[in-house]
Amino acid sequence: MEKLRDLMVKNQIEARGVSDKGVLDAMRKVERHKFVPGSHISSAYEDHPLPIGHGQTISQPYIVALMTELCELSGTEKVLEIGTGSGYQAAVLSLLAGEVYSIEIVEPLGKNARQKLADLGYNNVQVRIGDGYLGWPDEAPFDVIILTASPPKIPQTLVDQLAEGGILVAPEGDFSQELVKITKQNGRITRRTITYVRFVPMIRGS
């Protein structure tokens, strides 16, 4: 599997322009096959999303790497992830940040990811079952916020929980989705569209 991860990084990620050494190293280290259902293990290092149950997916490796690179992590950041899913993106972030707080609204997925991350030794990740639209106010502000599901519009609640100098990376939109990078400097929000993407919709709590 290690050889497959090396090929994944070389052919799918580096070849498409991701160059941050820390991100590339993390993508080589995290064992993606341990985050996909058993029936899809043979496809774990191919460049496409895979179903993980409950109508959710694990993102393709390139998109995970691209979004992680956009976060500009230096190793000390407090990160909020909305949409734990399988736990794979949280595992990658955990190798590059200080602390990762991850929220999953689908309870079975959240519980499974929490256990898996603990079993694999990703001890700087906390997983909460809850509504990502609300963020994690008692741990705010966050240096980085990353969304792995697409809201029609990025919730103001999350922008408010972003620290001064912070970065928010997220897909946004319904049928047509853009990957956007938001930065907060001197209280001002700057927004840049990176590319077009396709994510599962971000689910609201009841």
Residues that are catalytic? 59
Q: Are 67 and 179 in contact (CB under 8 A)?
A: yes
Q: What tokens does 159 get? A: 């922008």
**Coil/strand/helix, residue 171:** strand
Tokens of 89: 């993106």
The two three-digit tokens of residue 56, written as one number: 């959710």
> How many CA atoms does the CB half-sphere of 80 hold within 13 Å?
28
Q: What is the DSSP letter of 42?
A: G
H/E segment holding residue 67: helix 61-70
**Structure-block tokens of residue 51:** 């179903």
76 and 96 Cβ atoms separated by less than 8 Å: no
Cα 150 versus chain centre, distance: 12
